[in-house]
C-alpha cells in the first residue's frame, strides 16, 4: 500500500469522531497563520458527533476558526432548511454554535437546475482558490464517509460522474435513490492534501474490505478512486466495520 495511506482502527464511532477532531486540530496548528485552511465537509451521522466535539472544549478554543474556509464534498438536492441537507447539519451543529463568519462558508446551491448549480459551484471554487483554466483546487482537508455499497461523497456505483476528469463539480442522478445530487468530482477529491474517511458500522464491512483490499474496480466500489489521491488518505474505522478485513492494521 502507498506510504500516503494510513488505516487506523478505533473502538466506536465516538472514538472516530474524537480522532477526527484531533486530526483537524493538528493540521490547523501546522498551517501557516497567513494561510486560509480549506476544508470540505461531508454529511452523515459521524460528522454530527464530530461537530459536537468541535464546538466543545478544548477544540472550540484551540482551533483557529477565523482562518478556516468551509466547503462541501457533496449535497443532496434539497433546500438548505431540509433535515437531509448536509449544509443544515453543519450550520446547526458547527457554524452557528461557533459563530463562524458567513464569508468563510461556501454551501453548494440546491435550487434551479442541478447542472447549473454544479457549474455555479465550480465557478465558486475557481474564484475562491484563484484558479486558472485547467487548475484543480487543493483542499487542505476533505472529510469523507462511505456508504454500505462503497460510495463516497455522491459518487455512486455505475454512475457517469465516476469517469469525470475535467469538471471540478458535477451533478449526478442516483437511480437507487431516485434523486439528484451535487458532488465534487474524482478529479477534485483526489487532489486534496489530506483526506479523512470516517467509517463505522457492521453494514460497511463487506464494502470496506473491497475498497481497501479488493481488486481495483471503482465502478463497483467508488471509494476506491481515492487510491489515486496525490495527498495523504487516512481511514478511521470502528471495530464493527473491520469484520471482513484480512490485513493487520493499527489499533487505537
Distance CA 142, CA 194 (A): 6
Distance CA 80, CA 69 (A): 18
Chain position carrying cell 455505475: 158
Chain position carrying cell 451535487: 182
Distance CA 53, CA 192 (A): 24
pTM: 0.96
- Choosing among 3.40.50.720, 3.20.20.140, 3.40.50.1360, 3.60.10.10, the CATH entry for 5-242 is 3.40.50.1360
What ranges do the domains of the chain cover?
Answer: 5-242
Distance CA 53, CA 55 (A): 5
Distance CA 143, CA 195 (A): 6
Beta strands in 94-209, from DSSP E residues, in sequence order: 141-144, 169-174, 179-184, 194-199
- What pLDDT, on a 0 to 100 scale, did the predictor assign at position 3? 52
pLDDT tens for the chain, 252 residues: list them.
445 999 999 999 999 999 999 999 999 999 887 889 999 999 888 999 999 999 999 999 999 999 999 999 999 999 999 999 999 999 999 999 999 999 999 999 999 999 999 999 999 999 999 999 999 999 999 999 999 999 999 999 999 999 999 999 999 999 988 999 999 999 999 999 999 999 999 999 999 999 999 999 999 999 999 999 999 999 999 999 999 999 888 787
Three-state DSSP class for 6?
strand
Amino acid at each position: 500500500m502507498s506510504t500516503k495511506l494510513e488505516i487506523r482502527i478505533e473502538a466506536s464511532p465516538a472514538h472516530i469522531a474524537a480522532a477526527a477532531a484531533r486530526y483537524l486540530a493538528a493540521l490547523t496548528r501546522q498551517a501557516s497563520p497567513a494561510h486560509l485552511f480549506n476544508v470540505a465537509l461531508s454529511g452523515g451521522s459521524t460528522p454530527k458527533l464530530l461537530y459536537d466535539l468541535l464546538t466543545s472544549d478544548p477544540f472550540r478554543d484551540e482551533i483557529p476558526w477565523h482562518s478556516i474556509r468551509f466547503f462541501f464534498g457533496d449535497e443532496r438536492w434539497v433546500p438548505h432548511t431540509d433535515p437531509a441537507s448536509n449544509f443544515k447539519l453543519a450550520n446547526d451543529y458547527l457554524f452557528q454554535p461557533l459563530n463562524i463568519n458567513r464569508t468563510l462558508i461556501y454551501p453548494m446551491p440546491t435550487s434551479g437546475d442541478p447542472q447549473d448549480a454544479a457549474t455555479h459551484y465550480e465557478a465558486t471554487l475557481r474564484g475562491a482558490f484563484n484558479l486558472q483554466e485547467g487548475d484543480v483546487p487543493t483542499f487542505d482537508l476533505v472529510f469523507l464517509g462511505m456508504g454500505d455499497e462503497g460510495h463516497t461523497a455522491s459518487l455512486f456505483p455505475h454512475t457517469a460522474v465516476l469517469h469525470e476528469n475535467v469538471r471540478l463539480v458535477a451533478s449526478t442522478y442516483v437511480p437507487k435513490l431516485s434523486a439528484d445530487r451535487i458532488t465534487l468530482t474524482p478529479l477534485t477529491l483526489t487532489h486534496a492534501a489530506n483526506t479523512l474517511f470516517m467509517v463505522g458500522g457492521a453494514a460497511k464491512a463487506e464494502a470496506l474490505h473491497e475498497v481497501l483490499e479488493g481488486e481495483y474496480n471503482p465502478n463497483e466500489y467508488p471509494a476506491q478512486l481515492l487510491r489515486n489521491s496525490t495527498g495523504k488518505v487516512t481511514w478511521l474505522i470502528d471495530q464493527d466495520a473491520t469484520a471482513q478485513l484480512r490485513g493487520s492494521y493499527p489499533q487505537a
